[in-house]
């Protein structure tokens, strides 16, 4: 079992696959760190459009990525698409890629960053797993498992008296794994009713990660 420092929450969702409280997935045997929907430059993009969001996010994003890279010491990172919010928001992303040049980084194209030259792949495969962004439906051979982002899964919890809370989540099943958005700007899309009977939804809170299954 991987050690977990006090500032990094994580759980093993299947043998050697670790979901962190920072919404990353680490594949222990492959030494691969998977991150989906980073959306570098989200605030800058909205400010250019006239939406006066706080000019915040890129450095916080970089520090969270540094933390998981320091802990897991991956040989490879896979950015699973929508790494940028808009193609002209590449500066912070490219600076971070230069900072971690010692780590092989595979940048898969998503619908937000498909024109970014650095996002030069539509998928990555090893073993029975196919990594792609998820914005285009694919028919896969029955033995393959797709690992995608794009859908920003989350769960909404309530106390029945008006108090509600939305938390990021990861969808985990025998045919697909859907990562939560890494971006702190994304609140996510409630997913519980979308679960297949053979899938789990791993809920990610600041203090705990736990699975739920489809209500029957």
Q: Could you give the C-alpha distances from 73 to 34, 59, 67, 70, in angstroms and in order? A: 13, 20, 10, 6
Mean pLDDT of 10-39: 96
Residue 127: predicted pLDDT: 93
Residue 171: predicted pLDDT: 97
Strand partners, 164: 158
Strand partners, 19: 11, 25
Task: Show Cβ contacts of residue 86 under 8 Å, excluding neighbours closer than 6 positions.
Answer: 41, 45, 112, 113
- pTM, whole model, 2 decimals? 0.89
Residue 212: predicted pLDDT: 92
Task: Show Cβ contacts of residue 192 under 8 Å, excluding neighbours closer than 6 positions.
Answer: 155, 156, 201, 212, 214, 215
Whether the Cβ atoms of residue 89 and residue 39 lie closer than 8 Å to each other: no
Domain 10-213 has CATH 3.60.21: yes
Confidence of residue 43 (pLDDT cuts 50, 70, 90): low
Query: Residue 46 pLDDT > 50, yes or no?
Result: no
Number of Cβ within 10 Å of residue 209's Cβ equals: 19
Query: Residue 185 pLDDT > 90, yes or no?
Result: no
What residue spans define the domains of the chain? Answer: 10-213
């Amino acid at each position: 079992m991987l050690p977990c420092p006090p500032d990094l929450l994580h759980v093993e969702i299947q043998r050697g696959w670790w979901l962190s409280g920072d919404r990353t997935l680490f594949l222990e045997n492959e030494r691969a760190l998977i991150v989906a929907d980073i959306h570098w430059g989200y605030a800058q993009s909205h400010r250019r459009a006239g939406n006066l969001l706080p000019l915040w996010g890129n450095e916080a994003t970089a520090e969270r990525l540094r933390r998981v890279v320091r802990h897991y010491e991956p040989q490879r990172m896979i950015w699973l698409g929508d790494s940028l919010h808009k193609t002209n928001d590449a500066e912070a992303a490219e600076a971070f890629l230069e900072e971690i040049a010692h780590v092989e980084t595979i940048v898969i194209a998503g619908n937000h960053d498909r024109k970014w030259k650095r996002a030069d792949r539509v998928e990555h495969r090893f073993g029975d797993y196919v990594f792609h962004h998820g914005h285009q439906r694919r028919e896969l051979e029955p033995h393959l498992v797709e690992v995608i982002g794009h859908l920003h899964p989350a769960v909404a919890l309530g106390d029945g008296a008006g108090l509600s809370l939305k938390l990021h989540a990861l969808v985990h099943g025998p045919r697909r794994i859907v990562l939560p958005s890494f971006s702190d700007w994304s609140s996510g899309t409630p997913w519980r009713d979308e679960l297949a009977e053979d899938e789990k939804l791993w809920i990610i809170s600041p203090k705990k990660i736990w699975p739920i299954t489809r209500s029957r």
